[in-house]
Amino acid sequence: MKVQVFVLRRDGRRWEDRNAEGVAGSLRLHSVTIGSETHRVAQLHSRASRSSNDQQVLPPLYGPELIALGADSLLLRGFESSHGVGYVQEWRCVIERR
């Protein structure tokens, strides 16, 4: 799903920057196995023109939950890992219309 993601927290704290630009990409929800545990993950990927490789453009969102759903957007809440520490993170995802 093509979306524009607005990151709503920094190090777990609410971050209100009205001038912040969203990050465009393809939203993917899947599971990964780390050691013997399986985790649900949301990732935002982007593919450069003339490239066959996707690049992750935001850190993964672990344990994503759908918090709110609008006509053209959704709000996901989960955990982001930074330097070995987990923080609450929220993504406001605006769905791109074709």
- DSSP tag of 58: S
| pTM score, whole prediction | 0.87
Read off the pLDDT of residues 32-79 as tens digits, 9 standing for 90 and up.
998 999 999 999 999 776 767 889 999 999 999 999 999 999 999 999
Structural domains in the chain, CATH included, are 2-95 (2.30.29)
As a whole number of angstroms, the distance between CA 46 and CA 26 comes to 6
For residue 92, pLDDT over 80 is answered with yes
As a whole number of angstroms, the distance between CA 15 and CA 56 comes to 22
As a whole number of angstroms, the distance between CA 19 and CA 42 comes to 24
pLDDT value of position 20: 80
Residue given tokens 């969102």 in the structure block = 61
For residue 1, pLDDT over 80 is answered with yes
